[in-house]
């Protein structure tokens, strides 16, 4: 299996653990950190609807908890025509990525489309300038 296939399978497995009793829309994310380790996350809904968390945010939190701060590649999977990260998650991905980092958008049957972080968020917020 290739590195991208491994990342896809990790995101798909994470999606299965999503907690989505309100929307029934499960999302999984897998991040390969710059040093090669893979971190996953799933969406977790809450009855106070906007208080849930996204799959990408969970994967980023796991990565940071492990001491990593640079993203090398991302897969996001949902059962939709194109389940791209929400605006908040695009900003979160930007915080830990170079502009050319690939974000692969997948359905249950495989990768549908790939974007760079810069394509997903061309004019994201920067407090202190580019980290790269």
83 a known binding residue?
no
**Cα dihedral 115, 27, 29, 14 in deg (nearest 10):** -150
42 a known binding residue?
no
Q: Which residues contact 108 (CB under 8 A, 6 or more apart)?
A: 12, 77, 79
38 a known binding residue?
no
Q: Using the 8-state DSSP alphabet, how is residue 31 labeled?
A: E
130 a known binding residue?
no
CA distance 13 to 32: 15
74 a known binding residue?
no
45 a known binding residue?
yes
48 a known binding residue?
yes
43 a known binding residue?
yes
Measured between its terminal Cα atoms, the distance across the chain in Å is: 31
Active-site residue list: 56
Helix (H, G, I), strand (E, B) or coil at 53: strand
Hey, what are 22's tokens? 């309100």
Q: Which residues are annotated as a binding site for substrate?
A: 43-49
Q: Which residues are annotated as a binding site?
A: 43-49, 54, 86, 89
Annotated binding site for Zn(2+): 54, 86, 89
């Amino acid at each position: 299996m290739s590195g991208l296939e491994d990342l896809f399978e990790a995101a798909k497995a994470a999606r299965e653990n999503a907690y989505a009793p309100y929307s029934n829309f499960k999302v999984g994310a897998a991040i390969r950190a710059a040093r090669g380790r893979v971190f996953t996350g799933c969406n977790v809904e809450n009855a106070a609807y906007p208080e849930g968390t996204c799959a990408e945010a969970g994967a980023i939190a796991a990565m940071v908890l492990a001491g990593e701060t640079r993203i090398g590649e991302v897969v996001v999977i949902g059962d939709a025509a194109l389940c791209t990260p929400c605006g908040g998650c695009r900003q979160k991905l930007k915080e830990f990525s170079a502009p050319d980092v690939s974000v692969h958008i997948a359905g249950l049957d495989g990768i549908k489309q790939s974007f760079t972080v810069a394509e997903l968020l061309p004019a994201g917020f920067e407090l202190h300038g580019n980290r790269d």
